[in-house]
Every structure is written in C-alpha cells, then in structure tokens.
Amino acid sequence: MKKPLKMLAYDFGASSGRAVVGSFDGKTLSTEEIHRFSNDPVNVRGHLHWDVLRLFYEIKQGLLKCANSNNKDICSMAIDTWGVDFSLLDENGALLSNPFHYRDILTDNIMQEVFRILPENELYRLTGQQFMKFNTIFQLYAMKCQNISAFKQTKTLLMISDTFNYFLTGVMATEYSIASTTQLLDSVKKEWSEEIISKLELPRYIFPRIVRPGTILGSLSSEISDECCIGKIPVISTASHDTASAVASVPAMSEQFAYISCGTWSLMGIEVDHPIINEESFALSYANEGGVGNKIRLLKMIMGLWLVQECKRQWDREGKHFNFSELEAMALASAPYKSFINPDDVQFMPTGDMPRRIASYCNDSGQSVPGNIGETVRCIAQSLALKYRLTVENLEEISDKKLPVIHMVGGGIKDRMLCQFTANATGRVVFAGPVEATSVGNLMIQAMALGEVKNLHEIRQVVKESFPIETYMPQDAEQWNEAYIRFKNIIK
C-alpha cells in the first residue's frame, strides 16, 4: 500500500453520535474523532421520537469537516446505529414522521396481542430472537392496531442506519445484522420471514432487500457531494447494528471467548456458526443475531450503564453534580455486597428517578437500602457483574462451549471498577479494549469491503496490533461466590 487508506465511520449510540476517520496502513489502524454530537430523544405530545433529520445534519457536518481538513481524501464511509427502531417512507421516498424511540409507550401491552396470533415458542422458533417489548415487530404491530396514519401510508420501512444510507445515496436496502434485531427475520434463511409477515397481516412490500455486511451500496449523491464539498465517495453498508460492528473488533485469536459490548446496554454473548434455537435457549431468552463472516451472535441484552446514566441525570436535576470518575470513586469507598438488583427488572426501563426505583427494589426484596450515591452506584456495578456471571454460565450450557475469557469492548470499559468486578464475579480473565470498538469494527469492515483485509480473523489481528488491551485478573473469589448465591436468590 503506497499510502494509508482513509475511511470515515459514523457511530450512533442511544445518547450521542460521533464521526471517526480511520487510517489503515495495511497492518495497523489509527483513528481520529473529528465530530461528536448529542443524540437526544424528543418528547412530543406524550410520545418519544428520534430527530433523524437533525442527526442527518450532523452526518453532513462530519463530511464538511473532512472536506475542510487533511481528511478530504477519505475513500469510503459507513454508518452504524442502535437496532430495533425504523423510519417509514411514502411512495415518493419521503419521510412520513419522526421514528418512535424504543423507550416510548407505543408498545405497552402489545406483546400479548402478537402472541395470540403467533405464540411465543413459535415466534422464537422462526426468529431465535430475545423478546423485548420494543422490538420492531411489536412497534409495527402496535402502529397497525392503533391506526397510526404514517403506517397506513408506508411504502418502505428502513432501519435507522439504512435511512441515513438512503438519504446519502438514494439506495434502499436493509443490512443483515440490523435486520436481525427486528424479530421479523428468519434466522435460518437469513431473509424476511414470510410466515410472520403474513400471519400479522403486515404489508410485505414495505420490507426492502437485505444486503450483507461489507456491501458497497453506491456513492454519495450529487446533491450531498456538492453540499458537503467532497467527492462521490462509496457508501458501504457495514455491520450496521452497532453491536455487530463492536463484536467484529473483538481482538480474540481463539473461538473460546465471550464478549460484552459495554455501554448504555450490555450485549453479552458468543459467536456460533449456526443459530442455537431450542427449549433451553427459548426458556432463557437468548437472541440469535446476525454477525460478520456468516457468524451468528448468540447473546443476551442486559440493562447496562443506562442504570448509572439515569441515576446521574436525577442527581444532576437535584443539583448533585458528579462526573463518572467521581461516582466510581464514591462507589469504591462504599461497603461491598450490601444490596443487589436485577438489572433487567421492567421497572428500570423507563426514564425518571432511577435512584428511588433502586431503593424501592432493595426495600421490597428485604435488603439494605443504599443510603447514599456511592452505595447506589456500587449496587449497580456489583449487580451487573453478577448478571454477567449468570449469563456466561448459561451461554456455556446452551452452546456446550467452555468460555475461559471475556472480552469487554466499548465505552463502558472506561469504568475500570466494572471491568474488575466482572473478572471477580465471573472468575474469568477479562480483556478490556478497544474503547471505540464500534467505530473500529465499522472501519475494518469497510477495509474488508475495499479488499484490504480478507476476513474476520484478519480484522481481529489488525485490532490486536493497533489498540491497547488491559487485562483484569479475578480476585476475592470466596466473597463473590457468596454474593452470587445471594444475588440469584434475590432476582428469582
């Protein structure tokens, strides 16, 4: 390679977005964040929405920053976002309304309506997907039942990442990994489930063709190219689900590992070659989602650092302003193992006074109630680490694999306390890094699409050579084993 290959990755999380330029010299990847912006839900007349047009404005700002810097020579770009949520377009390709936010009340009480038509075990047999009330299937069916006008006018449904790709190129398609979050995908055929769509009487024509990670969709339209003063660069459909991109960047050289993509949500799982759909995986509600290189990500969604983030928002409202490092220090100074919560209890899903709900959970379960900020944060961190142990043990049972190590990636690994607690609670070595896992995976899938690396193994080798990885060894086994027994009794 005569000069480093430059690529542009956009990574949209549930609270912020960023544009990252990656420079690949054939052996290592370096990254530079060039644009960061907030991603805030908008409450309008009792419903939460995503402001996708504002987010698209930020995409163009990232392109402009490339054009007006030494990054004008980027060779490609790609976008990843959270899963589940979607846009609806009319027959002319115009956006019909702002997409609903997955935490909206739209799908309250809708799951049982769907299960009357498609029983849970049958739906799981077809999709292998974890049941979450905000999955695309439940949002769509709720819109149908509630006669929402945008749904009745819909010609095309696009996931959020696919929406941005369409705005950039005019090409309509859905990428496989993000399609697998909808609970409308046949997990074996890896295509839209005709049976589900038919039984729910959803219009088949709204579901576009599915493309694989690393597909070059097209180039920037002339309109976008002119507006952003940049060439008609290729737009690549990376692993558009942010977790799929993050997992692609896990620097593992063996197949015997579990991963945690750690952020607002904790996505914990393993890679397998084929979906694992049986009575045990159904009973434990494990998801089979699409990955890179024809892999399946067998995983569990766990309420992650949302719990701390929402606590911090409440404390900020009360005038108690602390950064996350200060919160971690207060937690470490608090007495251990006093109380635990089930991070996935439904009462922790909505926005609002999270510290009060945690205190209520502890009180109702007969435990010591956290008496201050440090004890609340420690309760969350310990509970997450113990939930990870339960999850990895279940993964071993379902897959018949031994998982001696855990790779933690994503912004959540900045919380060193949580990384150490995870090693302690699980009794496994934890490798933490890279922090910007999703952007890194996004960029390396672009490099694969451009022919610069061959496969997932080579992607991971590059990541291993390019970014620091921190090792956490298990400690205090006896105390954590005792805590685990208490935790399992509490969350029954």
Question: Where does residue 335 rank: exposed (0-12), middle (13-18), buried (19+ CB within 10 A)?
Answer: exposed
**Rounded Cα distance, 243 and 389, in Å:** 20
Q: What share of the chain is helix, strand, coil (3-state, %, to 5)?
A: 40, 20, 35
Bridge partners (DSSP) of residue 260 are 268, 408
Task: Tell me how far CA of residue 14 lies from CA of 9, 38, 297, 305, 306, in angstroms.
Answer: 17, 9, 21, 12, 10
**Rounded Cα distance, 113 and 44, in Å:** 26
- Structural contact between residues 52 and 158, judged by C-beta atoms closer than 8 angstroms: no
Q: Which of 11, 104, 242, 415 is catalytic?
A: 242
CA quadruple 10, 13, 14, 16: dihedral positive or negative?
Answer: negative
CA quadruple 307, 312, 313, 314: dihedral positive or negative?
Answer: positive
**Rounded Cα distance, 468 and 466, in Å:** 7
CA quadruple 67, 69, 74, 79: dihedral positive or negative?
Answer: negative
**Rounded Cα distance, 3 and 22, in Å:** 13
Structure tokens of 407? 């790779």
- Structural contact between residues 407 and 252, judged by C-beta atoms closer than 8 angstroms: yes
**Rounded Cα distance, 411 and 414, in Å:** 6
- Structural contact between residues 311 and 376, judged by C-beta atoms closer than 8 angstroms: yes
Task: Tell me how far CA of residue 362 lies from CA of 143, 149, 154, 288, 491, in angstroms.
Answer: 36, 43, 45, 33, 11
Radius of gyration over every alpha carbon of the chain, rounded to an integer in angstroms: 22
Span between the terminal Cα atoms of the chain, in Å: 57
- Residues whose CB falls within 8 Å of the CB of residue 317, separated by 6 or more in sequence, listed in order: none
- Residues whose CB falls within 8 Å of the CB of residue 119, separated by 6 or more in sequence, listed in order: none
Is 242 among the residues known to form the active site? yes
**Rounded Cα distance, 172 and 266, in Å:** 30
Q: Which residues are catalytic?
A: 242
